[in-house]
Amino acid sequence: MSHHEYILGTRGSALALTQSRIAAETVTSLYTEHQAHHGAADAEVVDFTLRTVKTEGDVLTGPLATLGGTGVFAAALRQRLLDGENASEENRVDMAVHSLKDLPSAPCPGLVVAATLKREDPRDALVARDGLTVDTLPEGSRVGTGSPRRAAQLRALRPDLEIVDIRGNVGTRIGRVKGLEEHAGKQVVLRQNTETSERADHGVGTERSGDCDAVVLAVSGLKRLGKEHLITEYLDPSRMLPAPGQGALALEVRESEFENPDPAVLSDAEVARPVRALGRALLAANHHETRLAVSAERALLRRLEAGCAAPIGAYAQVVEGDLVLNVVVASPDGTDMLRHTSATAELDVPGAERLGVRVAEDLLQMGAAALAGLEAK
């Protein structure tokens, strides 16, 4: 049995650390199962050590949509990966874990998303005071979100609500809800590979607490942090479509981990030809249906030339042998919306991407660019 150690780069927030640990444990266990199933004569064990990387999005203030979008959280991690063998030992990173909804849809030269783990619940959730729901919030209630997509769909459901732009980690945002202020009191961080609890009374998003009646967050993040009990309403995709990639974790590595790093063939180890244990383990951990779904969603986003500043929701899933993609494009104020659904029987990555592009073209023909302020033509 051979043992291989790799460095996993992560942001230092509680959610990022939790997701990175989930990814490390999932890759390790699924690769072990894969080898046992295929009767590998010389089994390989992969282990990961977490290394924190501070990103620009962790220190800049202001609305997220005006800071370059969610990609500000991925840029520093990606640079560490690209530094590759030229990085010093204390800065070396072999793999990065991203919330897929936070990863720009355009490919990054030199890097490849080698695995997408099985998707967690993709829905949005309302966390409100006194057990309230979207329908029972009093008129004029203040609802916090930093997402133009969520804001537009909330305004469509309840034009009378006051939407408050908020930022910060999950605990800080929950702490903006009246009665849940204690959740903003501390944060978990990693200092020199040691987890500590620190006061979160300074930094991005910590200026206020208890000033909202509710906030909207991703169910996946709340579940991973053990805070699902705070959810007062799960928002069904028929009412609020999630962000493309929401709930999915993307595992990104250097292209040099594969002789053929083409994303279209990464489901086939014989074609992709991983060069060491890391690549082999990631291919074993990839969840095919999740990969198909997010490939369609992100292809749509690329064709629309849209990022997190655009009020676009998309959710794909395999239903009775077809990949079905549901999309909403909204005006920022939520007063007008385009909804579109399409499907394909091509259950491979190229087919999923063609579905996403086709739906995007249909939406552009329907006037999506003018409606949502997109630059796509």
Residues in contact with 228: Cβ distance below 8 Å, sequence separation at least 6, in sequence order: 219, 222
212 counts as catalytic: no
Please confirm, yes or no, whether 254 is among the known catalytic residues. Answer: no
- Catalytic (active site) residue 102: yes
Cβ contact 101:119 at 8 Å = no
Structural contact between residues 7 and 93, judged by C-beta atoms closer than 8 angstroms:
yes
CA distance 73 to 96: 12
Task: Examine the residue annotation and report whether 303 is marked as an active-site residue of this protein.
Answer: no
* Active-site residue, 308 included: yes
Amino acid at 239: R
From 119, 142, 155, 173, active-site residue? 173
Task: Choose the catalytic residue: 11, 101, 119, 142.
Answer: 101
Going by C-alpha positions, the residue among 234, 130, 134 that lies closest to residue 180 is 130
208 is catalytic: no
- Among 232, 304, 245, 279, smallest CA distance to 120 is for 245
Select from 98, 351, 363, 355 the least CA-distant residue to 246.
98
What is the distance between the alpha carbons of residues 306 and 250, in angstroms, rounded to a whole number? 19
Q: Is 173 a catalytic residue?
A: yes
DSSP 71: G
Q: Which of 51, 80, 102, 227 is catalytic?
A: 102
| Active-site residue, selected from the candidate residues 150, 155, 298, 303 | 150
- Contact between 6 and 278 (Cβ < 8 Å): yes
Q: Which of 51, 142, 149, 155 is catalytic?
A: 149
Burial of 295 (0-12, 13-18, 19+ CB in 10 A): buried
CA 216 – CA 231 distance, rounded (Å): 9
Rounded CA separation 319/343 (Å): 9
**If we measure between CA atoms, which residue out of 17, 30, 355, 311 comes closest to residue 151?**
311
- The residues annotated with a catalytic role in the active site are 101-102, 149-150, 167, 173, 308
